[in-house]
Amino acid sequence: MNMDTLRVDAQPFAWRFPPARTAVIMIDMQRDFILPGGFGDTLGNDVARLKPAVTAALELLDWCRARNMLVVHTKEAHAADLSDCPLAKRLRGDPTLRIGDPGSMGRILIDGEFGADFVEELTPLPGEVIITKPGKGAFYATELGEILKAHGITHLLFGGVTTEVCVQTTMREANDRGYECLLVEEATESYFPEFKQATLAMIRAQGGIVGWTATLEALTHATPQTESQEVSADES
Ligand code: C5J
């Protein structure tokens, strides 16, 4: 039995991962996306839809923390002078408040403001990695790639919001960089339920073209891989 590798009942087939080389990436669990008065709200979304993912994300983080896995939190936030916010992003659409405008939780999506910070329940613990990103993908214009390399990471667990925007973009970026990626289904959410389901389906289609998905229960019941499972018919 290989105690260094765990096996999860996942889709489209079992996911095997070595916890010592696995990081969890929690995407953008910020007040600006989850609470009233933030960026998501100004765009006309029902932010209450994201709330259930907060509880599941905390369970996921705690499970990873108990296994000493690398924990990475990302936040989508811009410099106060907006020098890293393209006009194409700031001026798009018809929000009630644009990035950088003053709102009830401070300036919208500006690093250091109350709204751009993490929701209380998901405050990073000392020593955990925080990536501030100007884009949707967490590898773009950040040090994430170097940090994962320095820790010898090969596998990534994902949670966060929103499923089809920053989570999916980052998972695709990670997949292209050679990481084996699994998205934990309850730990991610979208303002649009149908987009969440479509994203889960897209990720695991065609034999896991972007990666795997699994329920939190399946992950937390992962079992040490046995030798007979190492070459297994369930991967076909
Ligand atoms: C969006 C994100 N939706 N974190 N950002 O603009 O998904």
Residue 167 CA to ligand 1 center (angstroms) comes to 8
Tokens of 59: 């369970």
Residue among 85, 162, 171, 196 to mutate when testing ligand 1 (max atoms within 8 A of CB): 162
CB 183 within 8 A of CB 211: yes
In a domain, 236, yes or no: no
Tell me, yes or no, whether 183 lies in a domain.
yes
Give the residue among 162, 179, 193, 73 at the shortest CA–CA distance from 121: 73
Q: Give pLDDT tens digits for 178-193.
A: 999 999 999 999 999 9
| pLDDT tens by residue, 118-154 | 999 999 999 999 999 999 999 999 999 999 999 999 9
**Domain extent at residue 187:** 17-222
Whose C-alpha lies nearest to ligand 1, atom 4? 166
Per-residue pLDDT of the chain (236 residues; tens, 9 = 90+): 455 999 999 999 999 999 999 999 999 999 999 999 999 999 999 999 999 999 999 999 999 999 999 999 999 999 999 999 999 999 999 999 999 999 999 999 999 999 999 999 999 999 999 999 999 999 999 999 999 999 999 999 999 999 999 999 999 999 999 999 999 999 999 999 999 999 999 999 999 999 999 999 999 999 998 766 664 545 54
CA distance 219 to 130: 24
**pLDDT reported for residue 80:** 98
> Does the Cβ of 191 fall within 6 Å of ligand 1?
no
DSSP-derived pairing of the beta strands 106-107 and 102-103: antiparallel
Can you say whether the dihedral through the CA atoms of 3, 221, 124, 185 is positive or negative?
positive
Write out the E strands in 81-172.
Answer: 102-103, 106-107, 129-133, 155-161
pLDDT at 233: 45
Per the domain annotation, does 11 fall within a domain? no
Residue 1 lies in a domain: no
Q: Quote the ligand 1 centre to 152 CA distance (angstroms).
A: 28
Secondary structure element (H or E) that encloses residue 213, with its range: strand 212-214
- Hey, which residues are catalytic here? 28, 133, 166
Give kind and range of the element (H or E) at residue 200: helix 193-208
Q: How many domains does the chain have?
A: 1
pTM tops 0.75, yes or no: yes
Quick one: CA dihedral 200, 88, 37, 73, positive or negative? positive
User: Would 2 be classed as within a structural domain?
Assistant: no
In one-letter notation, the amino acid at residue 69 is M
Q: Which residues contact 51 (CB under 8 A, 6 or more apart)?
A: 34, 189
- How far is it, in rounded angstroms, from Cα 182 to Cα 189? 15
Q: What single-letter amino acid sits at 136?
A: K
Q: Does residue 89 lie in a domain region?
A: yes
CB distance 162 to ligand 1 below 6 Å: yes
In-domain check, residue 31: yes
The rounded Cα 147 to chain-centroid distance in angstroms is: 16
Residue nearest to atom 2 of ligand 1 (CA): 166
Measured between alpha carbons, how far is 60 from 53 in angstroms, rounded to an integer? 10
In a domain, 115, yes or no: yes
165, 172, 195: residue to mutate for ligand 1 pocket, most atoms within 8 A of CB: 165
Among 28, 43, 85, 119, name the best residue to mutate to test ligand 1's pocket (greatest count of ligand atoms within 8 A of Cβ).
28
165 Cβ closer than 6 Å to some ligand 1 atom: yes
Helix (H/G/I), strand (E/B), else coil: 224: strand
Task: Compute, in angstroms, the gap from residue 180 CA to the centroid of ligand 1.
Answer: 22
pLDDT value of position 225: 86
C-beta of 8 in contact with ligand 1 (< 6 A) = no
- pLDDT of amino acid 15: 98
CA 165 to centroid of ligand 1, rounded, Å: 5
Q: Is 99 in the pocket of ligand 1 (CB under 6 A)?
A: no
Indicate if ligand 1 lies below 6 Å from the C-beta of 33. Answer: yes
Residue 184 maps to which CATH number? Answer: 3.40.50.850
Buried b (16+ CB within 10 A) or exposed e, 112-141: ebbbbbbbeebebeeeebebbbbbbbbbee
